[in-house]
Structure formats: structure tokens, C-alpha cells
Amino acid sequence: MRLKILSTGMLLFLLGLNSVVEARGSFYTVGKNLSENLAQSTWDNLDMDCVNVDEFLRILGDSNDRARKRIASLGGGSSVEDFGSGYIQGLINVLEVVIEHCTAECSKIGRFAGEQAAFIFCEVSTAAGKTATFKGLEDIPNIGCGEPYSISCESEFYSEAKDMCSYYARGTTFYKYYRASYQGCCSYNPDSSR
């Protein structure tokens, strides 16, 4: 779980939320455990591999039948609401872990791409005696979690280029070389991302 700095008001709210969760009782816990266990075992069976995210989501979507049957068996009232709230919470708990894991993978790849592109940029700039220009990607990649990739690529490119060839690592031509907003080397296709 990520460490967050909380204001006193937020801390009191979260403590109050814990009391609400405790008051919900066993139906909340049953729903939470059901979805959490299902989602976690599905993710584990898919080797916790980010390339399997589509399959992971499909399997979880198909599992809604189990939840529907359980909800129908509870009848109505607060027990069914508690079960539903718990079910959603358990699912979100696992989805958060999956998102963090896959974002980390995309960030690693982005940093690598940025580092390599900065090396080429500096070599070309030095050989040409001027800031290299980027002609654009012929095939803009369809990176599933594009923004973390792009941000990591841009950050790494910038810092590496500043270290390797600071004379050329400035100005509009430099920024256009790597920035995704200019269709630079750290671009991805946001319309095709998952």
C-alpha cells in the first residue's frame, strides 16, 4: 500500500470509515473476501503478467454470475448492500495492485526507451554539430498503459541528454525530439491503448 500524508480531517474520516466497515459485519467481509480471492487467484494463474490484462478482465467480468447468484440468495435489506459494498472493495483492492504492477513495468520500459533515445540523440547531434531533429515515428506504438511509459521515457531522455550532451539538450528542437505532445520519440497512440 502506498504511504500517503493525511491531514487530521482525512485521518478522522478514515478512522470513521473503519468503524463503518466493522459495523457492516460478516456480509461485507464475505463479499470482500469472495471478490478479492477470485481476482487474486485469477491474476496469479495468469502469471501476474501485464500482457494478460485483457484476459484477466474478461475472466473477472464472466465471474459476475457467481456474485449475482450470491446476491439473489441473500434476499434484500442491509445484508445484501453490505455484501455488494464488500464485493466492490475486494475487487478494487486487487485491481489497484494490478495497476501498480503494470504501471511499474511500463515505466521501466519507458525509462529504457528514453535512455536509448537520448544516447542516439547525443551521438547524432555531436556528429552533425547541431541539435538533432526527429522526423517522427513511422509506427506510433500502441502501449497499453501509454502515459506511464511516455512520462518515464520523457523524464529519462531529458536527464540523460542533459548529462551526455548538455550543449544540444535545450531549445524547441530538443523538446520536439522527445516529447509525446510533439509526436517525439516518446510518443504512443492514446486512441489504441487498452
For the record, the C-alpha cell of 97 comes out as 495492485
Section 97-123 average pLDDT = 88
Which range of 25-34, 53-62, 141-150, 161-170 scores highest in mean pLDDT? It is 161-170
Q: How far apart are CA 27 and CA 95, in angstroms?
A: 21
- Residue 24's pLDDT is what? 52
Residue 116 pLDDT > 80? yes
**pLDDT confidence of 10, banded at 50, 70, 90?**
very low
Q: What are phi and psi of 193, to 5 degrees?
A: -75, 155
